[in-house]
Amino acid sequence: MIKLLYAFVASILLCSSISVVAENKLVFPASKIEKQTRNYLLDSSIKTNDAALKLVKPEYLADTLLSLLAEPSKSCQETATTNKAREILLQVASPLAIKVSIDDLPKQLAQMSSEKRKALSCNSGKTAPESGNLIAFIPGNIAAPSWNLSFHLDTNQLSFEGIKLDGDTISPAANTPLGADDKAGIAIVAEVLRIIAENKIEHGDIRIVGLVAEEDSAVGAELIEAEAFKGDILVSIDGTDPDEIGRAAPAMYNGYITVSSQTSHPAEVDSKQSVSACAVGSQILHEAGFRADAHPPGHPNVVLHSYFISCGINKRKLTAKGEPVADYQYNTISPFWSAAWQMRNLEGNEAAQKMVLDLEKTVHRICAEAGRNRTKLKCDITGVNEAKLSGYIVAEESASIQLLKTGFERTGDDVVRITAKQFGGFNGNLIKARFDEEMVIVGTGADQIHTNEETISVAGMTRVARGLLASMLESYRYRVVD
């Protein structure tokens, strides 16, 4: 009778395209990595171990993060952080028979053409990656859903000392981002594994992935082997708000806008019919929808911003990151203006493409109008022909989202929000594009990331660790349907 019931359930699940069929059934769809749909049925006799949630230690999370924040971690130069993360994982998860390795990413890159190596290196091709990705595997001891927990190993830190813990808040030294993005992800994963190991909690397969260079070239996600991203539930611990589960990754475009005209002394502006490139650039930003809140009018799910603007004389100079930069010249009509621009769009890939093509039309229209009956302008915009990253949205009824929602709600803390407005976590875009696996993003408790005001709340980290652990424990009530 039991076999007939399982066969009946399996037939329903296999015919369904919905990830969650009912409260007691889970379906994880096939992908390029997992070739077959995976089906699980709830065993109602297994109760959730809520007592384990109280074992999350805020002081352990704080100490682990502080030890990581002391390690150098610039993009493509993460060796120290990679080794420290490896050491921590081995320390907490040795009882789980964890296997930890660092892949041969630098060797892979060395065998590529010089053009490809430059494209995948950091600092505009100047810094080749010195460390491989960190990959760990913990074999399951029950036939329950498997988890894939990821974070990135690089940060925007400029200094790795002088970091302060004051009550609940960890703050950076002066004039540097903290680096909680994403070293907090490592600390949270380590704490979850510590509790599973110390309390001998039965579990399915667990994979942990630490990716290099997420903040720059994303070479880690570009070259990692498919096997590392196997799993039923893929979670990137790389957000900010500890009460948010992000189910979307944006389409992203970026490039440069340049305006070139003819210089002159202000007294000769009429005789030479010169045009201020600086003024035209400002007009482009205004008419194209660049706003103080970074959302173009009528598009709350789009971030459009310029993160570098330069004005003056064009001497063909570039910044360290490749932006065209002008030389200052006193009391002339400036003939050169440039801006680095970026758009992150959660309206869908087609809508994103249309928006950047409209941006291109706006640039050329304004330039043509500004140069009419005066000195003609040369205007260029790059980055509109192909998205740097293709977006996706995970279905709200998917098994991954529902398990995380149930787990975070079980912790009894603040209300969790399931949102399609998560603009970060670009490794997920690449994993989706390469392997057709959809990653969900959870926060860490960090705030003001990428700025010198970046901080992280220990209570926020604790909230995420408890929510993630509760979600995993909930999934361990399910068993595979053959």
Confidence of residue 22 (pLDDT cuts 50, 70, 90): low
* Banded pLDDT at 10 (limits 50, 70, 90): very low
The residue among 413, 471, 473, 410 whose CA lies nearest residue 445 is 413
SS3 of residue 315 by DSSP: strand
Q: What is the pTM of this model?
A: 0.87
Q: Mind listing the pLDDT tens digit for each residue in 150-166?
A: 999 999 999 999 999 99
Task: Write down the pLDDT at residue 207.
Answer: 98
CATH of 251-381, one of 3.40.50.10420, 3.30.70.360, 3.65.10.10, 3.40.50.300: 3.30.70.360
Residue 4, pLDDT > 60, answer no
Query: How far apart, in whole angstroms, are the C-alpha atoms of residue 151 and residue 154?
Result: 9
pLDDT of 15 higher than 90:
no
Would the pLDDT of 20 be above 50? Answer: no
Q: Are 476 and 50 in contact (CB under 8 A)?
A: no
Architecture of domain 6-249+390-480: 3-Layer(aba) Sandwich (3.40)
Is 179 within 8 Å of 155 (Cβ atoms)? Answer: yes
Strand partners, 253: 343
Model confidence at 291: pLDDT above 90: yes
Q: Domain residues of the chain, as ranges?
A: 6-249+390-480, 251-381
Sequence-ordered alpha helix ranges (H) in 199-293: 219-223, 277-287
Q: What is the pLDDT of residues 246-257, one digit of tens each?
A: 999 999 999 999
Tell whether the model's pLDDT for residue 11 goes beyond 60. Answer: no
**Whole-number pLDDT of residue 482:** 79
Mean pLDDT computed over 13-28: 59
CATH topology agreement for domains 6-249+390-480 and 251-381: no
The percentage of the chain sitting over the pLDDT mark of 90, rounded to a whole number, equals 88
* pLDDT for res 321: 75
Report the range of poorest mean pLDDT among 89-98, 335-344, 419-428.
419-428
